[in-house]
Amino acid sequence: MICYFTFKDNKGSEHTIPIVVYKTDIAKRWSVGVMYNQRLDNKYTHSAFINQTYKEISQIQQQLNSIVEQINTDYDLVLPMFADINVLDETTLNEMHRQYEVYGTRIEEGLIPSNSLHDNFLLLNEVIHTYEDIVHGGDSLVPPMSVLVDYYPQTEFYPILERDKLHLTTQFMWGGVYLGYNTLGKDWLNVAHDNDIDVIMRGMVKPQTRFSAETWINFGPDDWTNYNIASFERWYLTLPAELQSLVPIDNLHELSLGRYRIGQVVINKDYFLKYHPNKQDWLSYNHPIKRQWNEEVFSTFTEITKIRYGSDN
C-alpha cells in the first residue's frame, strides 16, 4: 500500500512524497486509524518539524526562553529558563520536560487552561525536542531532521499489542516511517538520551502502550552501526546499582525500547530522482545527497497539508 504525504514549503510550493506502508498488522491498524480520522469533519492535520540545523541552535534557545516567558505570565507555576543562552543546560531541559508532564497530568485532573497557555505548552514540547535532537546530533553527516504529524483534535487511540513489539526498533534510518510515541512523558530510550535521572527516581518512565494516527517520519542520519542501542547499553552500565535495579533491562517487553516501524519513503522517479537521479546514492548509508536534500529542501518545509492513499501520484 502506498500513502502520499503532501508537504508545503515556505514559498507555498507542494512536495508529494510517497510512503510504502508495510504489510504488518500494526501498520494496517495505523492506516485504519488515519483513514478514520480523515472521515471526521472536525479533524485537521498538525505537523511539527525538526528541520533546522546546528548553526541555528542559539535562536532555538531564545525561542524556548520566549515560550517559557509567555507560559509564566499565564500559569500558576514557574518554569525555568536558560540563564546562559550559550550553554546547554540538561538540568533546565529536563525540568521543562517534567513541567510539561505535570501540566498534562493537571489537565487530566481537571485543569482548564486558556487556549494560549495550552498552545504554548504544546509548542514548548515541540521546540524542546527540536533543541535536543539538534544538540545531540551535532554536526553529523546528515542533519537530524524529521517531522511528526497527527490529526487534531486527538481523540482516537488504539492499544499496543504484545505481538506489535516484533516491530520495535532503535535503528532509525533516513526515510523510515514510525508510529509517534503518543504518550505523555518519556520512554527509556529518551531517558537515556537525556540522562534524565530524576524521572527514573520518580518512577515516571512511560513506555508506549497506545498509538494514534500520529506518525514520525525520520530524515536523520542512518543508524547503520546500531548506535542507539549501543549508546543505551553504555548509559545503563554507567548507572549506580540502585538505579540499574530500576531499569527493566531483563524484561525487554517491559523495556519497550524504540519506535514501531510502519513504512518507508519510496525513492521514485516522480520526486526524489528528479532532484538527484542516482537511486543507489539515496539508498546508501548517510550519502551526502541526503544531507544536501535535508538542508536545501526539507529545511524549507512548514506543514503537511494532506495524507492520501492510492496507486498514482
Query: pLDDT tens across 69-125, in order?
Result: 999 999 998 888 877 766 666 777 778 888 888 898 888 888 888 989 988 988 888
Q: Is the pLDDT of residue 265 over 50?
A: yes
Task: Give the domain ranges of the chain.
Answer: 2-51+143-309, 54-139
Q: Is the pLDDT of residue 294 over 80?
A: yes
Going by the DSSP 8-state scheme, the letter that residue 12 receives in this structure is: S
CA 190/CA 195 separation, integer angstroms: 8
Average confidence score pLDDT of the chain: 90
Contact predicate 77/161, CB 8 Å: no
Percent of the chain with pLDDT over 70: 95
- Taking the model in full, what pTM does it have? 0.82
- The owner of cell 505481538 is 163
**pLDDT at 313 (0 to 100):** 43
CA 302/CA 46 separation, integer angstroms: 11
CA 281/CA 257 separation, integer angstroms: 30
Length of the chain: 313
Query: pLDDT tens across 220-237, in order?
Result: 999 988 989 999 999 999
Which carries the bigger pLDDT value, residue 202 or residue 246? 246
Contact predicate 265/273, CB 8 Å: no
Fold (CATH) for 2-51+143-309: Cyclophilin (2.40.100)
